[in-house]
Structure formats: structure tokens, C-alpha cells
Amino acid sequence: MSDINVIPVERHPLEPFLPPNARLLMLGSFPPPRKRWSMDFFYPNRTNMMWEIFGEVFFGDSQRLVDAERRTFRLADIKSLLLESGIALYDTASAVRRLSGNASDKDLEIVEKTDIAALLRQLPQCHDIVCTGQKSFSVFTEDYGVSVPKMGTCNEFEIACRQMRLWRMPSSSRAYPMPLNEKATYYRRLMQSVGIIKD
């Protein structure tokens, strides 16, 4: 068994993406290893479905934010959509150890958690948080005493004297066994409930 102290601590490589008008904060766990990145932004792994889900939800086209020719995503379009829609992005961990060197959440040891209250101080209009994976949920619910909601629903809680709703959405990982169109249905309902997409 290897000595955990010899596994290097990896600090978060990205700054939080915090549009000042954000009404929704999306929290993952931690980015995958750099070798899996197709762009310098959140959900950078080309096999991750998040930006295909967003393409389907906002444009009715899962490939709208995909740059298939370059095997990456259309980063400028993604940032423009997030800024216009008021969606902030970050992760629940600010520093981790990768116990097996891969991107799996179950093999992440969290060394330093993200100060969520500090993020929210920069997002005065935000009253909704969605965790996009089991690891991010376990960290969040442990720290803030809110139970994990059923899929597609939310539970109310309070943080830094602010009433919030915590939403549960299906993971955007292809390892999560649900077709893209079903995942998009969940995210579309979320965006409608938050008021980002009108019914």
C-alpha cells in the first residue's frame, strides 16, 4: 500500500466562473487530469456530456457547442451562453490528491474544500445550487446539513443567512447510465424552475 503522503496535492487549475448576474451555481467535484482536457474550462473532457446537454437544452441541438473538427468544444459560445443566462461554475474541492491517477470521483481525496459562502458573496442574485455528481453532493451535504434531494428535485437550506435550494441532477459523465436526451430533460426543467429558461 502506497504512502498517501507521497501523492502530490493538486490545486484547482481554474478560477471560479462567476457572472455577476448569476442565479444558478453549478458545482462539480474537481477537473480531470490535464491530459484529458480538450479546452481550458470546466467539463473539459471531450467525452463528458455537459456541453452536449447544454446544447440540447438551450438550442435544441446537442452538437451546437461541440467543435467536432478540432475534437473540442466552442468555448467562446459556452462562455457567452453562461454569461447571458446567469450560470456560475466551480467545484466543491479546491485541492485534492488523485489516489489512482484517473478522473474518477471515487479516487479523489479532498484536501481542501471550496468556501461556498465566499463564492455566494460574489453572486448576490444566486439562490440555487446544483451539484453535478455524487462526490460534490457528499461534500456539500456533509458541510451544510442538507439532505440529498431526489433526482430532478431540490431541498431548501440556508447558508450565510441566505435561503437556498440545492438541486440534484444526473451526472454528465458518460459512465452515468442515462441517455443524453433524458439528462437534458432534467436540466431543462431545472433551468425553467430557476427562471433561466421561460416555459
State the pLDDT at residue 16.
98
pLDDT by residue (tens digit) across 123-182?
Answer: 999 999 999 877 788 888 888 888 888 999 999 999 988 999 999 999 998 888 899 999
Kindly indicate the confidence band of residue 1, based on its pLDDT and cuts at 50, 70 and 90.
very low
Per the CB < 8 A criterion, the answer to whether 170 and 163 are in contact is no
d(CA 52, CA 174): 11
d(CA 6, CA 49): 33
State the pLDDT at residue 19.
97
| Domain membership flag for residue 184 | yes
| CATH classification at residue 140 | 3.40.470.10
Read off the pTM: 0.92
Radius of gyration (C-alpha) of the chain in whole angstroms:
16
Burial of 103 (0-12, 13-18, 19+ CB in 10 A): buried
DSSP-based three-state secondary structure for 159: strand
| Domain membership flag for residue 123 | yes
Which residue range forms the structural domain that includes residue 132? 4-194
Number of domains in the chain: 1
- Choose among 50, 95, 100: nearest CA to 75: 50
Residue 44 is placed in which grid cell? 473539459
pLDDT by residue (tens digit) across 30-79?
Answer: 998 899 999 999 999 999 999 999 999 999 999 999 999 999 999 999 99
State the pLDDT at residue 136.
83
Looking at per-residue confidence, does 3 or 113 come out higher? 113
| Domain membership flag for residue 165 | yes
Looking at per-residue confidence, does 14 or 144 come out higher? 14
The owner of cell 468555448 is 75
| Domain membership flag for residue 199 | no
DSSP 105: G
